[in-house]
């Protein structure tokens, strides 16, 4: 099999040398070039036709975000962001994912050489995943890239309502609390945009949602805040012990597991620092297993794009407990790994294109009387 061709773009000569060394040590990867800035990278892309790009954010002459936006418009390709800014500038990282980057790795702030050595396996894994990822159209306009009228027109063309600004949302007191339904979502690579495509389409009276997206510490709060600004439901990072109420989505904090428990008739969030499961923390298996145990037939599970099989076994446990489960279909996944494993485990009732998941959820819940508004 031909090797995957990787182009490294970074203004640090040390980083370029080390990343090239990591890549070239793999039997299936080859670093075909290393560029010090986007202008050099542009010429190398034309001449070398790489399969995957690793891209720094802070570079001379043109920053990585501007370059990424131009690249995805003119020559879409798999990109893994590798930058120190991805750790302290979560908004910048999320913007890169909105623009089409597949994933990101944070370079250490100090001790770059040792830090990169420690992150080598993660970098290689994400480059491999990116090489197999689908680079398709953006399902919804990225925040700040299209005027509101265009966003409304795009939504109308898909037969769904556009996202409502926070000021127009129903107050919490007006949200229905007479339902015990709960939706649990699991996602990994490509999941931030898949989650956004679903949550921005949901009505304000939607049942409580719990979400595990594979993400390191420092990113999930910004992720939740960005979603909260775009959705009719409220979106927040889950806090230990808080009640899970309709009209809200709760995201597992990066580097912590999220579970669902009960306190009388109420669902509550349990956030803990226990060991990784399936190499992940937060883990979808942890969340889904708790939903199977505490929510049972009142749950709906959704498995979205991602590499690996985290969540597949626990989703089958959810189904055995009476839950109704959906998986994102292969054609709309960035990486069809976790949904495929869930289907193979017999955990999934239906596979649905990403654009249709929100409407399918509302349809299923309306039949149970848990939602009154339309999408």
Kindly list the catalytic residues: 188, 214, 310
Show Cβ contacts of residue 245 under 8 Å, excluding neighbours closer than 6 positions.
172, 175, 177, 208
- Residue 46, SS3 per DSSP: helix
101: left (phi over 0), alpha (psi -120 to 50) or beta: beta
Give CA–CA dist 19/112, Å, rounded: 12
d(CA 18, CA 44): 19
Pairwise CA distance, residues 294 & 258, whole Å: 13
The C-alpha atoms of residue 298 and residue 292 are separated, in whole angstroms, by 9
Are the beta carbons of 306 and 277 closer than 8 angstroms?
no
Do the bridges between strand 266-272 and strand 257-263 make them parallel or antiparallel, or are there none, so unpaired?
Answer: antiparallel
Residues 6+ apart with CB under 8 A from 246: 175, 176, 177, 179, 205, 206, 207, 208
Q: Which two tokens stand for residue 187?
A: 């996602």
The first and second tokens of residue 265, run together, are 């008739």
């Amino acid at each position: 099999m031909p090797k995957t061709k990787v182009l490294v773009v970074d203004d640090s000569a040390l980083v370029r040398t080390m990343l090239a060394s990591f890549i070239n040590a793999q039997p299936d990867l080859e670093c075909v070039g290393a560029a010090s800035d986007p202008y050099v990278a542009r010429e190398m892309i034309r001449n070398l036709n790489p399969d995957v790009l690793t891209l720094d954010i802070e570079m001379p002459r043109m920053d990585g975000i501007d370059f990424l936006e131009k690249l995805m418009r003119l020559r879409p390709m798999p990109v893994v962001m590798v930058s120190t800014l991805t750790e302290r500038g979560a908004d910048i990282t999320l913007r890169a994912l909105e623009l089409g980057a597949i994933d990101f790795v944070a370079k250490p702030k100090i001790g770059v050489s040792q830090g990169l050595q420690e992150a080598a396996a993660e970098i290689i894994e994400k480059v491999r995943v990116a090489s197999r990822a689908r680079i398709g159209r953006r399902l919804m306009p990225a925040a700040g890239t299209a005027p509101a009228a265009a966003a409304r027109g795009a939504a109308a063309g898909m037969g769904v309502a556009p996202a409502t600004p926070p000021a127009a949302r129903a107050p919490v007191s007006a949200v229905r609390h007479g339902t015990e339904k709960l939706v649990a979502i699991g996602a990994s690579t490509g999941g931030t945009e898949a989650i956004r495509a679903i949550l921005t389409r949901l009505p304000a009276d939607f049942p409580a949602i719990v979400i595990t997206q594979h993400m390191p510490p420092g990113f999930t709060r910004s992720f939740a805040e960005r979603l909260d600004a775009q959705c009719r439901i409220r979106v927040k990072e889950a806090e230990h012990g808080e009640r899970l109420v309709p009209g809200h989505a709760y995201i597992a904090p990066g580097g912590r597991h999220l579970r669902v428990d009960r306190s009388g008739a109420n669902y509550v969030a349990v956030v803990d620092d226990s060991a990784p499961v399936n190499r992940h923390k937060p883990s979808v298996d942890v969340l889904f297993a708790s939903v199977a145990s505490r929510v049972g037939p009142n749950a709906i599970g959704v498995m979205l794009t991602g590499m690996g099989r985290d969540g597949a076994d626990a989703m089958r446990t959810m189904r055995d407990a009476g839950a109704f489960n959906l998986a994102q279909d292969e054609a709309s996944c960035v990486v069809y790994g976790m949904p495929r494993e869930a289907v193979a485990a017999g955990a999934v009732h239906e596979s649905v294109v990403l654009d249709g998941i929100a409407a399918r959820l509302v349809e299923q819940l309306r039949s149970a009387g848990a939602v009154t508004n339309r999408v």
